[in-house]
Amino acid sequence: MRPRVYLETTIASYLTARPSRDLVVAANQEVTREWWEIRRGEFELFVSEFVLDEAASGDPEAARRRMEILAGIPLLDPAGEVDALANAILTRVGLPQKASRDSLHVAIATINGMDYLLTWNCSHIANAEFQRPIAAVCRGYGFEPPIICTPYELLREPP
């Protein structure tokens, strides 16, 4: 069985955006493209309605490209304790209110048993300072959290 990966919205954004003039962002875009081309086939990919809603917003042409990338990727079930877990993550970890959508991504990936949550959101999701508190909240609800990481951390040569 292949590991299960939840793709947070930034992955589709980095895959489809024009190359950034910011060197760090441009490098992250390239790493994302490399992961997509080299490694994605080794994983079962999933998204949520939260990802599709975010991907469909903004510039119509950019949204179209994001939605094309996400087409056909199975959707996770938002039922169950997603809202309660997301609220607990937001409040107990001390994330700002503007990170409410970020906590939903973590909650839905956790409740649906994902192995990884892949993101470039290093402010509120893939932030080392928040990893342990997020994991503690998830475990307190009886769930094992996914490993939250960037494509760089899952980029390696296939065996």
CA distance linking residue 68 with residue 123, whole number of Å: 26
- Quick one: pLDDT at residue 152? 94
Residue 26's pLDDT band, with cuts at 50, 70 and 90, is: very high
Which CATH number does the domain housing residue 46 bear?
Answer: 3.40.50.1010
Q: Identify the domain containing residue 35 by its residue range.
A: 4-154
Tally the domains of the chain.
1
Average of pLDDT values for 39-46? 96
pTM higher than 0.85 for the full model? yes
11 pLDDT above the threshold of 90: yes
What does the pLDDT look like over 75-129, one tens digit per residue?
Answer: 998 888 999 999 999 999 988 888 899 999 999 999 999 999 999 999 989 999 9
Task: Give me the pLDDT at residue 78, please.
Answer: 85
Is residue 7 within 8 A of residue 73, CB to CB? The reply is yes
Residue 23 falls inside a structural domain:
yes
Q: Taking 70 as the threshold, does the pLDDT of residue 156 lie above it? A: yes
Residue 159 lies inside a defined structural domain of this protein: no
Per-residue confidence (pLDDT) for residue 157, from 0 to 100: 66
Rounded to 5°, angle at Cα 116 from 154 and 112: 160
∠ CA 10-66-104 to the nearest 5 degrees?
45
CA-closest candidate to residue 119, choices 135, 101, 137: 101
Q: For residues 145 and 115, is the Cβ–Cβ distance under 8 A?
A: no
Residue 117 lies in a domain: yes
The pLDDT value given to residue 159: 59
132 falls within a domain: yes
Q: What is the mean pLDDT of the chain?
A: 94
Say what the pLDDT of residue 21 is. 94
Burial (CB count <10 Å: 0-12, 13-18, 19+), residue 147:
middle
> Is pLDDT of 158 > 60?
no
How confident is the model at residue 112, as a pLDDT? 96
Q: pLDDT band at residue 155, thresholds of 50, 70 and 90?
A: confident
Q: In this structure, what token pair is assigned to residue 159?
A: 């065996």
